[in-house]
Amino acid sequence: MRLSTNTIYEQSVNAVLLQQESLQKTQQQVATGKRMQTPADDPIAAARVLNVAQAASINAQYAENRNNAKNSLALSDTILSNISTLIQDVRTDVVSAGNGALNNSDRTSLANTLRGRLEELVGLTNATDSSGNYLFSGYQGATKPFSQTLTGAQYYGDQGQRLIQVASSRQIALSDSGTDIFERVKNGNGVFVTAIGAANNGSAVISSGLVADPASLTGQDYRVDFTVAAGVTTYSVVNTTTSTTLSSNNPYTSGSTISFDGLQFDIQGAPSNGDTFTVAPTTEPNRSLFTTINDLIDTLETPVITSANLSNLAAGLSTALLNLDNGLDRVLNTQSSIGTRLQELDSLQSTGVDLNLQYQQNLSQLQDVDYTKAISDLTRQQTYLEAAQKAFHTVSGLSLFNYL
Amino acid sequence: MSMISTALTGLNAAQMGLLTTSHNITNASTPSYSRQQVIQANALSQGTGSGFIGQGVNVSSVRRVYDDLLVRQGLQAQTQSSQLDSYYAQIGMLDNVLGDSSSGLSPALQGFFSGVQNVATNPESVPSRQGLLSSAQTLVSRFHDLDQRFSEVRDDVNSQISSSINEINTLAQEIANLNSNIGLAEGIYGQPANDLLDQRDALLLRLNKEIGTSVVKQDDGTLNIFIGTGQALVVGTQVMTLATTTSSDDPARTLVGYVIGNRTSLIPDSNLQGGKLGGYLAFRSNTLDDAQNSLGRIAIGLAQTFNDQHRLGQDLNGVLGGNFFNAPVPNIIANTGNNPASSISASISSVSALTTSDYQYSRDNAVIPNYTLMRLSDNVSVTSTSPLITLDGISITAATLNANESFIIQPTRNAARDISLAISDTEKIAAAAPIRTSASLANTGTGLISAGSVNSFNDKVVITFTSATAFDVVDSTTGATLATNMVYASGGNVSFNGWTMQITDGIGPTSPALGDTFTVDHTLISTTSSTATIGGMTLSSPPVDAFLSNGVKVVFDSAATFHLEGTTNNVTGLSSIATSAAGIAAAALLVNGANTAGFTVATANTVTSTIGTGGAGAYTSTGAKITISGGTISGATAAPNDTFTVSGATVTIEGGSYAGSTTFKGVDITIDELTGVISIPAAVMGTTASTFHGRPATGIAYSSATPSLISVNGWTTQVTGVPLAGDTFTVTTNTGGIGDNRNALLLGGLQTQNTLSGGTASYQSTYGQLVSQIGNKTRELEATSKAQASMLVQFQQAQQSVSGVNLDEEAANLLRYQQAYQASGKVLQLASTLFDTLLNLGR
């Protein structure tokens, strides 16, 4: 085929240009460390890189959220520990108040100690976090949850629980509302209340009781009437709602269990003739911890003069003890739930770290240049370029005019 | 003698050969130059008795070595190569902008949602909120920057088109001039005008670089050149010109026009192929428009979906959230032939259904006008006699236009440019939910109530018609009953969860039949078992129930049933009607119709019951205050649980959100004093009751195994566990709830939700698709333009191998002609010597 001079030059020059272009491309890859300089180099990988980068960034955000959650929960946990210690101290005081050797003024000074403890409790439940937001007021972070009142404390917050997103489909509760921890405390057994008849003369007390068989509960009111005749104490059980007598002339032994219609309780002490005790469904299934302590203070401050006062004192103390236990239970429950959440956060954290590693590996695979290959390409293309340039030099020097 | 003349011819021929060879040598690198050859022919011989004696050589012509077919192939290859190269160059710019990992959209999008998560973690913290506003501003600016880049490319294309047209016109004129010169020159001398022909070829090559042409050679040697689908550019010595023009549909778009006389007619983009101009036009129509629309779709999708969720929340001041972004609106361009008073309005009814196409809305000239909304990417259209059409998520909300007028609608073209922040005050970020729930401390059961959430018009509901005028609403996902016995009138609106729609049969409003069901949310509309369809979907703003702030109590009557009450109603007050106590004194009320004067109403006698939603039948107590004045009440006794009837009273309903009269006279209504349920028969309510919604108040079944959703007043909550009789749960407004982050969590969840493309892609993956599309197209063009370029090189080489100058060959020719000259000169010398011999004979 006949070649024109133009063709000879153009072909040689194009070859050199082509080599220069590939060399330049490889050099860019080596210099930036990226396999793709523009999405056109690998469009599918380019789109995937964007997706993986977003997933990695979301993962990092969750890790940050988890740290925040851990800090908040740890703070709540500490406060609740302090509160449980306080409740246990109050409990100890209640036990010591049951010592028969104490007199009225001893009990009054005990009551004063308890007043201090109650204020301390209110202060603890109004704890704030590092930003000054209250921990236990539900959604209303700027509202102080508890204010002390004459009967205990009033709650001004709400029952909301703050959640935080700690994994792609997991939200963990960051806070618990003051109501749920300190007010939703079971009052007694939570189903029925027992009470000493107002006109009683004896020193017998009735326990709070428990539910032996929920299926047999009737939800009706009952009364236990005591008859003391000739040194023999007997009692009868009357259903005051239906006005029927369930049983009568039951022999009485102090401390033995009385049970009927799914209820179970015991009466201790020495009732007088005509003493009554009532059993009715509770109208207050929950009683706030503050109210319990406040009632305890009132009980201790009531002077004991008659034996009826004594049984009231004993009843009050045993109610307080039971409710304090219920309150402590609630606090410990919450703490254990916090503990579970912290554990879950830890395990999510380690998953998150693994995920992050995977994402980084993915990204590296997609977009990083393989240095070994790139550098060997670079060397090779350099050689090609030099060869092309040399060939051009040689061919362009050949001309018939050199010989004319 | 004859020898001298023969020798002279030889000398001439050699001289011409040398001249031509030197001409070739000097023009070796002139573009489009074809090497020229001297054509020698022997001169006429002289006849004699002893044979024909030659008389030397004639140069008959100088012709160029030229293959027409190869040149034509080369032109074709060149025009395609130029088109691909210019398309590739333009799209390469877009590719770089989109794919940059630090200045693309992705980092800004991620930063924005990080900001949202930070607010979710610390909703009360002002620095967190400020951080969100800053990252939102960054995102908005990034959209603007990207759109700016697109606009710059677009302006660039417009100006390139313009300069290309100028170049084409200039070249066409020069070719026409050459046509005339060639005609003249060849006419005078009868020989091919080689150099002029080469010049014309050079011009033709440059013209083909600008635009694809077809060339027809005329007998008189002139070239006729046609472009597009046969528009003549050069005919002999006549030239037609191209001009830039704009289409009547879109005055901002530079198009190619063809000038005839004093009129410029438009050449559609698709008719112009080849050359740089073809490349720019193809780039603009196939890639740039789509890419800018696609970016805009992400912007508008983000703005609207974020706004919708934001409006369901509550800000630091306890006010319902407003718009977070200023959502862009569709761009509407009136056809330049329209009456200036004609106009239309369009809105986006569903971002998920948006495509990347532009649309055209037009009206025909029929007596009963037909309106058409057409998608320009594939010319699929929807026609109806009602001007309010919805297609692909775009709704025409108002239209005033005359026959044969049209508008272009670009729903997403300018969205990335127009998006902006609507909030600058950190307090206005709505991180909280507007309602909260609580369980009473007096509850004896173990029931729990969920935190509650506000209904979004994204919730899919199933509307079932129980008669031609009543329907129930059920949550499509959970099966929970959301409303029963809602009133429907043919031609009326159906409203729920913030959207409003009509039921038509494709022509006008109609009534559905018993059992017809429609599945609706604000994006997807489907229908089963009906000849009726749904049209004219609009969204009210804000899409939040007007009764949202009214508190509601869920009260369990037993472990298996519950009812709903308003927290501000006087249910117990009502029951005191029959006895005494606050409200209305018993003596003032009826007893068995004995009080014919009815009861007088003073402030103390106002029956304040919050009345809400429902159709005919029971109303729940939420919503507005109802006042009953005048009339007689009958049917009650002193017992607290009676129902009694009020006749002839005036019932005034205050507040609420219903159209039409709110005063009813002469009604018979029933009040259940235990629950406060007030029943007003549908016949009495007339047709204005359709905006009530709600559910029966009493005796709703509850099962702890399958706890139902409770949805009233625009929120939804759920009671689980085992509640007992008397247990109460309350839903109220979230006053002071600055630490609540529920709405912020939902906003953060939008990052990974598939909100776009019919529910198949998130913002990030839609952007990823755009990057990938442009990347793919760029790669494809890179490959095809390289392939085309190497094909072009081959054609050029083939052409060069025929017409190109080889210097070595010319060097050899020089030697040849030089020797021929020397030889002829020698002959001349010999002839002269011979003549001298003759002359010397006589001496």
Nearest by Cα to B214 from B232, B226, B198: B226
The Cα-based distances of B219 to A339, B216, B223, B224, B371 in angstroms read 99, 10, 9, 11, 54
Answer yes or no: do A162 and B739 touch at CB < 8 A. yes
- pLDDT, residue A67, reads 94
B696 band by pLDDT with thresholds 50, 70 and 90? very low
Burial of B371 (0-12, 13-18, 19+ CB in 10 A): buried
CB contacts < 8 Å between A and B, how many?
A: 208
Residues B735-745, mean pLDDT to the nearest whole number:
91
Residue A205 in contact with residue A267, Cβ under 8 Å? yes
- pLDDT, residue B500, reads 66
CA of B478, closest CA in chain A: separation in Å?
Answer: 19
- pLDDT, residue B545, reads 64
- Cis preceding-peptide flag for B542 (omega within 30 of 0): yes
- pLDDT, residue B686, reads 37
As a whole number of angstroms, the distance between CA B121 and CA A164 comes to 6
Contacts of A399 in chain B (CB under 8 A): 807-808, 811
Q: Is the pLDDT of residue B613 over 80?
A: no
- pLDDT, residue A212, reads 87
Residue of B316, B441, B730 to mutate, testing the A interface (most A Cβ within 10 Å of its Cβ): B441
- pLDDT, residue B567, reads 58
Tell me how far the alpha carbon of residue B7 is from its chain's centroid.
83
Contacts of B95 in chain A (CB under 8 A): 38-40
pLDDT digits (tens, 9 = 90+) for A66-87: 999 999 999 999 999 999 999 9
CA of A391, closest CA in chain B: separation in Å?
Answer: 19
As a whole number of angstroms, the distance between CA B498 and CA B521 comes to 10
Nearest by Cα to A246 from A269, A220, A284: A220
As a whole number of angstroms, the distance between CA A290 and CA A185 comes to 10
Contacts of B114 in chain A (CB under 8 A): 57, 61
Structure tokens at B165: 């047209």
Q: Is the pLDDT of residue B711 over 50?
A: yes
Residues B210-214, mean pLDDT to the nearest whole number:
93
Nearest by Cα to B458 from B501, B520, B392: B520
Angle among Cα B802, B803, B809 to the nearest 5 degrees reads: 85
pLDDT digits (tens, 9 = 90+) for B551-581: 777 888 888 887 766 654 322 222 112 222 2
Q: Is the pLDDT of residue B357 over 90?
A: yes
- pLDDT, residue B499, reads 67
pLDDT digits (tens, 9 = 90+) for B505-543: 655 666 677 777 777 765 555 555 555 666 555 555 555
Nearest by Cα to B235 from B177, B171, B176, B167: B176
Element (H, E) at A386: helix A371-396
Q: Is the pLDDT of residue B670 over 60?
A: no
CA of A275, closest CA in chain B: separation in Å?
Answer: 30
Q: Which of B443, B451, B769 is nearest residue A161 as measured by Cβ atoms?
A: B451
Angle among Cα B41, B46, B47 to the nearest 5 degrees reads: 130
Residue B605 in contact with residue B568, Cβ under 8 Å? no
Which of B53-67, B91-105, B453-467, B634-648 is the most confident on average? B53-67
DSSP string, B90-109: HHHHHHHHHH-TTTSHHHHH
What is the dihedral sign for C-alpha A297, A302, A307, A308?
negative
Element (H, E) at B383: strand B380-384
- pLDDT, residue B649, reads 56
As a whole number of angstroms, the distance between CA B335 and CA B248 comes to 5
Answer yes or no: do B764 and A51 touch at CB < 8 A. yes
As a whole number of angstroms, the distance between CA A86 and CA A96 comes to 15
Answer yes or no: do A6 and B804 touch at CB < 8 A. yes
pLDDT digits (tens, 9 = 90+) for B145-199: 999 999 999 999 999 999 999 999 999 999 999 999 999 998 898 888 999 999 9
Angle among Cα A384, A386, A392 to the nearest 5 degrees reads: 105
DSSP string, A335-346: HHHHHHHHHHHH
Scanning every residue of chain A, which has its alpha carbon at the shortest distance from the alpha carbon of B730?
A: A159
CA of A367, closest CA in chain B: separation in Å?
Answer: 11
Answer yes or no: do B741 and A162 touch at CB < 8 A. yes
Below-70 pLDDT ranges, chain A: none
Nearest by Cα to B644 from B746, B555, B725, B574: B574
- pLDDT, residue B657, reads 34
| Axis-axis angle for helices B105-121, A43-97 (nearest 10) | 10
pLDDT digits (tens, 9 = 90+) for B313-337: 999 998 888 899 998 999 999 988 8
Residues B288-310, mean pLDDT to the nearest whole number:
93
The Cα-based distances of B546 to A63, B157, B432, B612 in angstroms read 39, 51, 18, 11
Q: Which of B109, B764, B801 is nearest residue A4 as measured by Cβ atoms?
A: B801
DSSP string, B396-460: EEEEE--TT-EEEEESSTTHHHH-EES---GGG---B-SEEEEE-TT--S--EE---EE--TTS-
DSSP string, A215-251: GG-----EEEEEEEETTEEEEEEEETTTTEEEEEEEE
B212 band by pLDDT with thresholds 50, 70 and 90? very high
As a whole number of angstroms, the distance between CA B813 and CA B807 comes to 10
- pLDDT, residue A378, reads 94
Residues B46-53, mean pLDDT to the nearest whole number:
88
Q: How many CB atoms lie within 10 A of CB B451?
A: 18
- pLDDT, residue B155, reads 92
What percent of chain B lies above the pLDDT cut of 70?
76
Structure tokens at A371: 């240095």
Can you tell me the ipTM of this complex? 0.86
Domains and CATH numbers, chain A: 55-187+323-355 (1.20.1330.10), 194-284 (no CATH)
Contacts of B803 in chain A (CB under 8 A): 4
DSSP string, A135-194: SSSTT-TTS-SEEEETTEEEE-S-----EEEEETTEEEE----HIIIIIS-B-TTSSEEE
Residue A158 in contact with residue B451, Cβ under 8 Å? no
Contacts of A159 in chain B (CB under 8 A): 436-439
Q: Which of A10, A42, A139 is nearest residue B432 as measured by Cβ atoms?
A: A139
- pLDDT, residue B532, reads 61
Q: Is the pLDDT of residue B628 over 60?
A: no
Answer yes or no: do B95 and A38 touch at CB < 8 A. yes
Q: Is the pLDDT of residue B692 over 60?
A: no
Structure tokens at B686: 């007339």
As a whole number of angstroms, the distance between CA A154 and CA A113 comes to 21
**Which residues in B78-198 belong to E strands, given as ranges?**
none
As a whole number of angstroms, the distance between CA B550 and CA B567 comes to 8
What is the dihedral sign for C-alpha B644, B648, B649, B650?
positive
- pLDDT, residue B359, reads 94
Answer yes or no: do A160 and B106 touch at CB < 8 A. no
As a whole number of angstroms, the distance between CA B312 and CA B328 comes to 20
Q: How many CB atoms lie within 10 A of CB A367?
A: 19
- The residue written with tokens 């939910």 in the block is B433
Q: Which residue has the higher pLDDT, B376 or B557?
A: B376
Q: How many CB atoms lie within 10 A of CB B464?
A: 18
As a whole number of angstroms, the distance between CA A364 and CA A361 comes to 5
Q: Which of A7, A42, A140 is nearest residue B797 as measured by Cβ atoms?
A: A7
- pLDDT, residue B417, reads 94
Average pLDDT over all residues of chain B: 79
Would strands B46-48 and B242-246 be described as parallel, antiparallel, or unpaired? unpaired
Answer yes or no: do A179 and B92 touch at CB < 8 A. no
Q: Is the pLDDT of residue B680 over 70?
A: no
Q: Which of B439, B738, B745 is nearest residue A141 as measured by Cβ atoms?
A: B738
As a whole number of angstroms, the distance between CA A311 and CA A202 comes to 8
DSSP string, B47-83: EETTEEEP--EEEEEEEE---HHHHHHHHHHHHHHHH
Residues B406-428, mean pLDDT to the nearest whole number:
94
A73 SS3 class: helix
B683 band by pLDDT with thresholds 50, 70 and 90? very low
- Phi first, then psi, for residue B17 (nearest 5°) are -60, -45
pTM, whole model, 2 decimals? Answer: 0.81
Residue of A5, A64, A129 to mutate, testing the B interface (most B Cβ within 10 Å of its Cβ): A5
Residues B460-489, mean pLDDT to the nearest whole number:
72
How many helices and strands, by DSSP H and E, does chain A display?
7, 13
Q: Is the pLDDT of residue B468 over 80?
A: no
CA of A180, closest CA in chain B: separation in Å?
Answer: 9
Q: Which amino acid is at A207?
A: S
